[in-house]
Amino acid sequence: MLVKNSIKSQAALEFLTTYAWAFVIIGITIAALYSFGIFDFSKYLPQKCIFPSQFKCLDFSLKPTEVKVKLSNNLGEDITITSLQITNDAVTPISCTAPASFDWMHATEKDIIFTGCSGGGYIPDVRVELKISMSYFAINTPSRPIHLVNGKINGKVLSS
């Protein structure tokens, strides 16, 4: 009886020991993969710039301290850009120097460049999602009401 119990408990202990080690190894492996960013699936998404079709986004670049976006004025009207803002969802959002107001003829393209970008997790080789707000008015509309357009850039900051 004693021998039988001893063999059973040994088997149970061996079973537990084997699986405890297995769990520890699996845990460490998952932690290592996580720390290397394997589970950050968003990096497998394409880099994109989304604006309404009236301001079609043609291209963009995210340099270490500069955000550049090329937009096309498809409104069919000449406009004046009154203000531009860039932000993101970080606790301390990204801060950049926005370009001054400018006139924008219809059917033309403009490079909008935000300089001196910092904060908001805007770090080289890191994927970021930036929101750009643009206010404008149409030059030929008598009361010149201000309109707001929002766009989004999802991309990786270049290393240099």
Partner 1 sequence: MVKSYLAKDRCLRLAGSHLSQSSMEYLLVVALTLAIIVPTTYLFYSYSKESSQEITDAQISKLGRSIVDTAESIFYSGQGSKTVIDLNIPDGVDSALIIDGRELVLNITTNFGTSEIVFFSSVNMTTTSSNCIANICRLPEIGAPGIQKVKIEAISNSVKIEVI
The site for partner 1 (CB under 8 A) is made up of 3-4, 7, 11, 15, 41-42, 44-45, 48, 50, 52-54, 75-77, 131, 133, 138, 140-143, 145, 147-152
Is the CB of 63 or the CB of 147 nearer to partner 1? Answer: 147
| Nearest-approach distance from CB 131 to partner 1, in angstroms | 5
| Nearest-approach distance from CB 152 to partner 1, in angstroms | 4
| Nearest-approach distance from CB 82 to partner 1, in angstroms | 13
Is the CB of 4 or the CB of 116 nearer to partner 1? Answer: 4
Residue 36 main-chain phi, psi, to 5 deg: -85, 0
User: In terms of Cα–Cα distance, which of 100, 95, 106, 90 is closest to 135?
Assistant: 100
Residue 20 and residue 118: Cα distance in Å, rounded?
46
Is the CB of 65 or the CB of 133 nearer to partner 1? Answer: 133
Residue 49 and residue 47: Cα distance in Å, rounded?
7
Is the CB of 27 or the CB of 124 nearer to partner 1? Answer: 27
| Nearest-approach distance from CB 60 to partner 1, in angstroms | 15
User: In terms of Cα–Cα distance, which of 54, 12, 26 is closest to 150?
Assistant: 54
